[in-house]
Amino acid sequence: METKKPIVEIKNLFKSYRRGSQIIPVLQDITLDIAEGEFMALMGPSGSGKSTLLNLIAGIDKADSGTIRIGDVDITKLSETELALWRSSNVGFIFQFYNLIPVLTAFENVELPLTLTGLSRKQRKEHVSMALEVVNLSDRMDHYPGQLSGGQQQRVAIARAVVTDPAILVADEPTGDLDRVSAEDILGLMERLVHELGKTIIMVTHDPRAAKKAHIIKHLDKGVLNEYSQSAL
């Protein structure tokens, strides 16, 4: 059986927070590989460190020690400015509360990350139209977030996440604010992104139904990572 090359390689990762004089360990000696095209769910109780791990993989937080290699880049070695640039082309973000900019239309929200690239207006339009087509929202491109349902807003957020064609997508409770039908819809869409576009998705969730869609489920408890079997759900 062919072993897929890991796109995310995490070695001996430690992360702690300081509260006053107290140091609170959040992640302890995390070592993890995620293969390209894999859909991984991170589960665990509140405060277990799963969002922190997701933020570290996405390059929006800094580890105390250890390495995180995404593709060929050790992101723990990058400066804040380098990380910002790296994020813009390598990671797509899907948040629980969609986090769309309310004064921009669906089209403009999806276009936002592309404004950091050197693409022309015409090229940007093509990319945005394609991304909105993937999430099946081409007919709502001129709607503002306030004019869309929660599920539709999350689909716009997914289009924004994939529009720069990043290798990995990180999703923090993507169905946490959705009803059951919309949640199923979003999870189906995420599965399509993995199967049809070959994206690697790392998803933090509390929802066992959402986690069941993933290929691998990892469980974090008090900062320590454990394997979890699908059948345990």
Partner 1 sequence: MNIVSLLYRNAFRHKLRTFLTILGMTIAILAFGLLRTVISAWYAGVEASSASRLVTRSSISIIFPLPISYKDKIKEIKGVKIVSYGNWFGGYYIDEKNFFPNFAVEPKSYLELYPEFVLSPEQKAAFIRDRRGFIAGRKLVSRFGWKLGDTVTLKGTIFPGNWDFVLRGIYSGKYDTTDETQFIFNWEYLNETMKKTVPRRADMAGFYMIGLTDANMASDVSVEIDKTFKNSIAETLTETEKAFQLGFVSMTEAIVIAIQLVSFVVIIIIMAVVANTMAMTARERIGEYSVLKTLGFGKWHIAGLIFGESLFITMTGCAIGILLTFPAAKIFSSALSAFFPIFFVSVKTIYMDIISAVIVGIAASIIPTYRSINVRIADGLRKIG
Between strands 6-19 and 65-70, the pairing is antiparallel
Interaction between residue 84 and partner 1 (CB under 8 A): yes
Distances (CA, A) of 130 to 4, 133, 159, 182: 28, 5, 9, 22
The CA distance from 178 to 189, in Å, is 14
Q: Which is nearer to partner 1, 92 or 216 (CB)?
A: 92
For residue 19, give both structure tokens. 């509260």
Q: Which is nearer to partner 1, 87 or 213 (CB)?
A: 87
In this structure, how many other beta carbons lie within 10 angstroms of the beta carbon of residue 9?
16
Q: In the complex, what is the shortest distance from the CB of residue 93 to partner 1, in angstroms, rounded to a whole number? A: 5
Interaction between residue 60 and partner 1 (CB under 8 A): yes
Q: In the complex, what is the shortest distance from the CB of residue 96 to partner 1, in angstroms, rounded to a whole number? A: 7
Q: Which is nearer to partner 1, 17 or 226 (CB)?
A: 17
For residue 115, give both structure tokens. 């404004």
Task: Give the one residue of 89, 123, 147, 230 binding partner 1; rule: CB under 8 A.
Answer: 89
Interaction between residue 146 and partner 1 (CB under 8 A): no
Interaction between residue 99 and partner 1 (CB under 8 A): yes
Task: Give the one residue of 96, 152, 154, 200 binding partner 1; rule: CB under 8 A.
Answer: 96
Q: In the complex, what is the shortest distance from the CB of residue 27 to partner 1, in angstroms, rounded to a whole number? A: 13
Tell me, residue by residue from 151 to 190, as one string, x for binding to partner 1 by CB under 8 A and - for no binding: ---------x----------------x-------------
The contact set with partner 1 (CB under 8 A) reads 51-52, 55, 58, 60-61, 80-81, 84-85, 87-89, 93, 95-97, 99, 101-104, 107-108, 111-113, 115-116, 160, 177
